[in-house]
Amino acid sequence: MMVLMSQTFAQNDAIEKEIMKLSKDKWQWMAEKDVDKLADLFHKDAQFVHMGGSWGTDRELAVIESGGIWYKKADIHEVTVNIIGSTAILLNRIDLLAEVGGNEVTNPFMVTEVYVHEANGWKLADLSFTRLLTRDN
């Protein structure tokens, strides 16, 4: 019984590392506006929640490609991953440097990323930004 539990923990640890890498890669691809890699990662029915609204995959890819939102750099301060069945929930506490409508802004966010495992691997199903209140704002 102990061996099975150890294997489960080891499997979860490997999944957590895989999800953390996917998330880190995603931030890089967003900074590079690499919509081909992002299109492969994003679930076709994914939802994206921003300070200014929410929309699906096609619009998110179009916004990134056009530079409507340019995710220039995410400084990641904390990452946690919770695995529930075939779903992984990742929380990132970040400071995001972005260009929105031609204006460069930096905001502190807690970002929720929900990944679902399908036959062709992990897909991002939800990306939600929650702006954090800090002493500076």
> Domains along the chain?
2-131 (3.10.450.50)
Average pLDDT of the segment spanning 36-46: 98
3-state secondary structure at position 55? strand
Partner residues linked to 89 by β-bridges: 82, 114
Average pLDDT of the segment spanning 86-98: 96
The pTM of this model reads 0.88
Phi-psi region of 31 (alpha: psi -120 to 50; beta: other; left: phi over 0): alpha
pLDDT number for residue 1: 33
pLDDT in tens, 57-79: 999 999 999 999 999 999 999 99
* pLDDT of 81 above 90: yes
d(CA 46, CA 126): 5
* pLDDT of 107 above 70: yes
